[in-house]
């Protein structure tokens, strides 16, 4: 008997939180937080995208994408699809048709821990997509089972349905829902401080960091 395990869809994120997260660079979070970041080999297919959404998790085996097809019919605006390929790196489960369906449903982006296909169609759809590269070998509907909105592993980090996904050109970070607002506030404050510091250091003057290094090695600016 084919084993499918499907939990209810997670609660959507508030528009206020999503709007705030869109101001946050993943690299800013990386200044004060060391966990929750996906493997850096999970890379964006489109440049210049920064998106945030609620994790809808799918785990599907090898050549099969049956459950992903089912998930597409349940997606809502603001959802961010996270696909665990259960270790497979050969079959592309995500291509042009899946992209069109996900975008029509209002999904803000997707991450596949494996390859995708149909790069041109993904680019034409302007759909934010992160994956481990491209493959010409595609998955099909073989009814092999899988899980939806259960815990998964993607990019070597655990992801729970309902987690907050923040992704940009630098990478992908998973934020617990209950911590996301505080993390966003900290990251934005850090970005503002860095911007102010750059503006306050005129060309030709020594920055505070450089001054500290010079003093440590016994030199003066």
* Span 1-60, pLDDT tens digits: 899 999 999 999 999 999 999 999 999 999 999 999 999 999 999 999 999 999 999 999
Residue 190 counted as domain residue: no
Whether residue 80 has pLDDT greater than 80: yes
Percent of the chain with pLDDT over 70: 90
Residue 217 to residues 2, 50, 133, 201, 205, Cα–Cα distance (Å): 67, 41, 45, 22, 19
First-residue to last-residue Cα distance in the chain: 74
Weakest-pLDDT range from 1-5, 118-122, 211-215: 211-215
Residue 206 counted as domain residue: no
Q: Rg of the chain's alpha carbons, rounded to an integer?
A: 20
Residue 212 counted as domain residue: no
Weakest-pLDDT range from 50-59, 84-93, 123-132, 201-210: 201-210
- Structural domain including 110 reads 4-177
Residue 85 to residues 32, 180, 209, Cα–Cα distance (Å): 30, 26, 44
* Span 156-178, pLDDT tens digits: 999 999 999 999 999 999 999 99
Residue 209 counted as domain residue: no
Whether residue 147 has pLDDT greater than 70: yes
Residue 80 counted as domain residue: yes
CATH number of 121's domain: 3.50.30.40
Residue 154 counted as domain residue: yes
Name the domain count of the chain. 1
Residue 27: predicted pLDDT: 97
Residue 123: pLDDT band by 50, 70, 90 thresholds? very high
Mean of all residue pLDDT scores within the chain: 93
Residue 208: pLDDT band by 50, 70, 90 thresholds? low
Residue 202 counted as domain residue: no
Whole-angstrom Cα distance, residue 210 to residue 18?
37
Percent of the chain with pLDDT over 90: 87
Residue 199: predicted pLDDT: 75
Residue 207: predicted pLDDT: 60
The C-alpha angle 126, 11, 187, rounded to 5 degrees, equals 65
Residues 6 or more apart whose CB falls under 8 angstroms from that of 131 comprise 42, 43, 45, 94, 111, 112, 113, 114, 115, 116
């Amino acid at each position: 008997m084919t084993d499918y395990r499907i939990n209810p869809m997670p609660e959507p994120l508030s528009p206020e939180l999503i709007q705030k997260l869109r101001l946050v660079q993943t690299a800013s979070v990386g200044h004060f937080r060391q966990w929750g970041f996906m493997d850096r080999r999970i890379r964006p297919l489109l440049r210049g995208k920064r998106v945030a959404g609620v994790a809808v998790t799918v785990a599907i085996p090898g050549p099969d994408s049956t459950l992903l097809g089912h998930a597409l019919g349940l997606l809502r605006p603001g959802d961010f699809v996270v696909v665990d390929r259960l270790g497979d790196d050969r079959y592309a489960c995500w291509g042009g048709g899946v992209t069109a369906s996900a975008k029509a449903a209002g999904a803000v982006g997707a991450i596949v821990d494996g390859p995708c296909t149909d790069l041109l169609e993904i680019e034409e759809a302007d759909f934010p997509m992160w994956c481990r590269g491209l493959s010409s070998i595609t998955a099909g509907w073989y009814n092999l089972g899988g899980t939806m909105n259960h815990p998964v592993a993607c990019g070597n980090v655990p992801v729970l349905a309902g987690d907050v996904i923040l992704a940009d050109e630098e990478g992908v970070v998973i934020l617990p829902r209950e911590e996301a607002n505080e993390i966003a506030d900290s990251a934005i404050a850090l970005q503002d401080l860095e911007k102010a510091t750059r503006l306050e250091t005129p060309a030709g003057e020594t920055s505070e960091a450089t001054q500290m290094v010079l003093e440590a090695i016994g030199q003066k600016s």
